[in-house]
Amino acid sequence: MEIMEIMEYLPHRYPFLMVDRVLETTENKITGIKNVTINEPFFQGHFPGDPIMPGVMIVEGMAQCGGLLVLKQVEDRKSVSPYFAAIDKVKFKRPVRPGDQLRYEVEITVNRGTLCKMTGKTFVGTELACEAEMTAVIVKRNQ
């Protein structure tokens, strides 16, 4: 899935779209990537002279991948959005810096229609950078 198709699914736009490409999807799993560049707006203040991607942005990227996976299973995806309901057991294992490519691997563990639980892992190469459990709810969009 290329960026134009991703933008058909997700309402996020610059500077908050955290998925550049989807490499693979199955019914319950998705793998996506984000190319991290020094041009990301958060690097101006996080931290000058020692740029590190904020952990919340890494988790947001995993959540967006999970949202893509959930929306692929919804018939009328343009009328709904997946919203974060909970984030649990988040662990950061290594810093993410400009030049890194993030690989998000997200799996749905529970799907109850409007409520989905997922596990996510983010890798830089073969190194685990972050892991989390996430819960999303599907809500009608205000149009």
Angle at CA 81, nearest 5°, toward 38 and 24?
A: 60
11-28 per-position pLDDT tens digit? 899 999 999 999 999 999
pLDDT of residue 143: 62
Report how far residue 33's alpha carbon sits from residue 18's, in angstroms, rounded to the nearest whole number: 8
Mean pLDDT of 90-108: 98
CB 75 within 8 A of CB 109: no
Calculate what percentage of the chain has a pLDDT beyond 70: 99
Its pTM stands at: 0.94
Select which of 12, 21, 29, 46 is catalytic: 46
Q: Is residue 46 annotated as part of the catalytic site, yes or no?
A: yes
Query: What domains can be seen in the chain, in order of their start residue?
Result: 3-140 (3.10.129.10)
Q: What is the DSSP string of 53-106?
A: --HHHHHHHHHHHHHHHHHTT-TTGGGEEEEEEEEEEEEE-S---TT-EEEEEE
User: With the CA atoms of 75, 73, 7 and 104 taken in that order, what torsion angle do they form, in degrees rounded to the nearest 10?
Assistant: 170
